[in-house]
Amino acid sequence: MWVPKWQRDRAKGVDSPIPTQVVSNEEIWPRPQNRTQAHWEHRLGELATANAKRTGMERRAFLRSPLGLATAFWAANEAFGQRYWDVDAEEMFELAAHAEKWPRGEYFVFDVQAHFTNGFALNFRQSEFMRSMGFDLSGDAEAYSFNTFFKEMFLDSETDMLVISGVPGREKSPAEERAALVENAASGNPVDPMLVRGGGILPSWLMAKRREDINQLAGGQRALSQSNCAPNHYWDPATDRQDRVALKEQMTREVQEYGSASWKLYCHFDPARTGRGFQLDDDATAYFYEVARELGQTTVSVHKGFASQSRRFGHLANPKDVERAALQNPDFTFVIYHSALKHGPTEPAFAEPGFFDPSTGDFAWHEILMDIKRRNPGLDNVYCEIGSAFATLAVSHPVMCMHLMGKNIKHYGADKVLWGTDCIWWGSPQWCIEAFKRFQISDEICEKFGYAKLTKQDKARIFGLNAAKIYGVDPTLARQAIRADALSTMKASYQAGELEPDNAAHGWVRADA
């Protein structure tokens, strides 16, 4: 059966500041820990007990401190047998050593892929289909709620700004909503926006509302939100063609009423049940670009990779269609989520021969995305986002993680790589931030594959300066405003109160592994 990772950890007495196995974000099947990850977890437990005693701290408090985080990276280096993460021994015992080497606030951190479900239980877990396979899964809605999201993204991490990112879901069109309101009025029941407008577990209208909640609380801009509207959401069953009137009306609403800052597309999902997905370079999407251009919203964030999400349309998560779409629409910006990693370490195919070639550093479908740039060196409107790709590889296959970052920068440039985390599936993104600060490509791999070492300027660009450029944010002015806003005051009070961050990861793992 599946359980949230935090439940599994607490049952086993594990309290790691870094997930010691890859979790499922509900889009992929959870897999058991591998032997190295189990050793990492065990060694972390040993070191935490000894180090907490040496520092005179209670073990739980130690693991929630920077000392515990440094201990987790140290244990990872021991488990993997190489110094993959930059951590010094004194960081495990001296807060001043950590603060001096890794000062908080050094980078402007702009996370372009952050999720929550606002407390909606994901009821497909209790479906007959799931039960027939022997699963008896609980929901734990609060772990995915907006309250948890706010705390873990802003109070427990160095994230300065974020984009609330969509998940597959189709809202009722304005015409459909009007009909639903009439029906609702006839019933005499209070208006429930989830019934009359719909849109799934995180619809565009709800992302916009929560964006405004965050910004109003802060007294300035901390959050942006995306639009879930996609080319295959509004379809005329009589003609079996795109309903362009309904599509344009909904796109207009999402830009002009919701203020969405980007489109979020899932080519391999079909929430309207049209019987088809779509590609970035097909005729239906060409019309979508035409309307988007009229509306002045030309940033397209598209999920590519993690093909196992859809058995029927998983092939449409292949990034091969990015090339023609980007070349034909040079005025658009295309953000390729997950850097098109076809399979995550949670999937059996990740370990199959041919998925990763250590002799070239290539892996499926990432190499397709890299080939696009090789063929088109002048292409400058495609960005590689690293959400879940960096995180999953960091805790399971550090060498592949080096190739991911090395190739993204070698082919696209450090100014075309974007920071995203896919949190709160992974709990607070602070461990991801710390991992990227400490991340470096080894001398051996740089020399063999022609990668460059990551500089602090590279990391600054990736952490937030690149996203700021896309979303029209002046990072200098933004940081000045952020330091003085109400959210920073709240965070200072939160930290001064010595409230502990939660080491919980909210994605799913197998209860028996």
What Å distances lie between residue 484 and 161, 218, 411, 460, CA to CA? 14, 9, 38, 21
H or E segment to which residue 390 belongs: helix 389-394
Contact 335, 13 (CB under 8 A): no
Q: What is the pLDDT of residue 186?
A: 80
E strand or H helix that includes residue 303: strand 299-303
Task: Give the model confidence (pLDDT) of 344-385 as tens digits.
Answer: 887 888 989 999 999 999 999 999 999 999 999 999 999 999
Among 430, 398, 492, smallest CA distance to 69 is for 430
Res 11: pLDDT? 55
Alpha-carbon 378 to chain mean position: 28
**Alpha carbons 199 and 167: distance in angstroms, whole number:** 10
Q: How far is CA 61 from the centre of its chain?
A: 28
> How far apart are the C-alpha atoms of 325 and 332, rounded to whole Å?
9
Q: At what angle do helices 204-218 and 486-496 cross, to 10 degrees?
A: 80
Residue type, 288: F
Q: Rounded to two decimals, what is the model's pTM? A: 0.87
C-beta atoms surrounding 238 within 10 Å: 7
Q: Mention every residue, 6+ apart, whose C-beta is less than 8 A from residue 120.
A: 141, 144, 201, 202
- Domains of the chain, CATH where assigned: 2-104 (no CATH), 110-173+201-494 (3.20.20.140)
Can you state the angle between helices 398-407 and 366-375, rounded to 10 degrees? 20
Kindly report the average pLDDT of the chain as a whole number: 86
Strands 382-385 and 333-337: what pairing?
A: parallel
39-to-81, 290, 401 alpha-carbon distances in Å: 11, 53, 20
Distance of alpha carbon 444 from alpha carbon 403, whole angstroms: 12
Which residue's entry shows tokens 């010691």?
Answer: 20
Q: Is residue 420 classed as helix, strand or coil in its secondary structure?
A: coil
Q: At 2, give phi and psi (nearest 5°).
A: -95, 145
Token reading at 160: 């300065």
Structure tokens that stand for 256 in this block = 């002009």
Distances (CA, A) of 410 to 123, 400, 443, 479: 43, 15, 15, 29
| pLDDT tens, residue order, the chain (513 aa) | 444 544 545 555 545 566 655 444 444 445 566 788 788 888 988 999 999 999 999 998 898 888 998 998 999 899 888 888 899 999 999 999 999 999 989 999 999 999 998 665 443 223 332 232 232 333 457 777 888 899 999 999 999 999 999 888 999 988 888 888 888 788 877 777 777 788 888 999 999 999 999 999 999 999 999 999 999 999 998 999 999 999 999 999 999 999 999 999 999 999 999 999 999 999 999 999 999 999 999 999 999 999 887 788 999 999 999 999 999 999 999 999 999 999 988 788 898 999 999 999 999 999 999 999 999 999 999 999 999 999 889 888 999 999 999 999 999 999 999 999 998 877 889 989 999 999 999 999 999 999 999 999 999 999 999 999 999 999 999 999 999 999 999 999 988 875 555 545 544 344 455
Please name every residue paired with 356 in a beta bridge, in sequence order, or none if there are none: 363
CB 163 within 8 A of CB 224: yes
Q: For residue 227, how many other CB atoms are within 10 A of its CB?
A: 28
The Cβ of residue 185 has, within 10 Å, a number of other Cβ atoms equal to: 11
> In Å, what is the CA distance from 52 to each residue of 2, 15, 101, 389, 509?
32, 13, 21, 32, 28
Residue 383 bridge partners (DSSP): 335
Task: Write out pLDDT tens, residues 73-117.
Answer: 999 899 888 888 899 999 999 999 999 999 989 999 999 999 998
What is the Rg, in whole angstroms, of the alpha carbon atoms belonging to the chain? 23
Q: Cβ contacts of residue 410 below 8 Å, gap of 6+?
A: 449, 450, 451, 452
Coil vs helix vs strand at 349: helix
| Adjacent-strand bridge partners of 163 | 224
Amino acid type, 440: Q
As to burial, measured by CB atoms within 10 angstroms (0-12 exposed, 13-18 middle, 19+ buried), residue 491 is middle
Pairing of strands 235-236, 333-337: unpaired
